[in-house]
Amino acid sequence: MTLDVALTPAQRATNLLITRTLDDLYWVMSYSRWKDERYWPQFRDALKREHPSLTDDGLMKAREFNIQRYYYQGIGRFEADAVMARGLADLAALASLIPRQGYVHGDRPTAIDAGIYGFVANIYFYEIDTPLKYFVVSHDGLVQHCRSIHTAVSM
């Protein structure tokens, strides 16, 4: 039995829309870490703390590679503030769909809750102070959802 076996067609459609929103949020999160000059130093330093074997040269090569990916994907053609605005809009949409108690489709988590958790936790638990993190921290529903899934998978 899968997590989504009991979902209605409307709930499955909602999941598709959320998945597409998460895809957009992925690019914003990545851009904010690798390309945005405001947050790159925090990200670089966090990577170096977590992975002491990383070299400055290796990190710069990875950064250049990612910046090229953003250009070809399209998000790299936007100004940094416009990219962040996209991510904040994505998070606002997610926040409006997550109830203060429970999960997106009711009392039990489904696969979409796990997907949302993957992104929100990556923002919430990672020590980089970006507008994305400030948004998550300031929305109790997102924090509660994140902590609830985190507790469930940490048992």
- Contact 111/4 with Cβ under 8 angstroms? yes
pTM of the model: 0.93
Dihedral sign (CA 48, 51, 52, 58): negative
How far out from the chain centre does Cα 103 lie? Answer: 17
Q: What is the pLDDT of residue 99?
A: 87
Averaged pLDDT, groups of 10, the chain, 155 residues long: 86 96 98 97 96 97 98 97 98 94 91 96 94 97 94 81
Helices and strands in the chain: count of H runs, count of E runs: 7, 0
Q: Token pair for residue 48?
A: 């170096």
Question: Residue 131 corresponds to which amino acid?
Answer: P
Q: What is the pLDDT of residue 152?
A: 84
Phi, psi for residue 139 in degrees, rounded to 5: -120, 100
Residue 11, judged by CB atoms within 10 A of its CB (0-12, 13-18, 19+), counts as middle
Question: Residue 38 corresponds to which amino acid?
Answer: R
Q: Which CATH number does the domain 9-154 belong to among 1.25.10, 3.30.420, 1.20.1050, 1.20.1280?
A: 1.20.1050
- Contact 35/76 with Cβ under 8 angstroms? yes
What does the domain layout of the chain look like in residue ranges? 9-154
Left if phi > 0, otherwise alpha if psi is -120 to 50, otherwise beta: which for 129?
A: beta
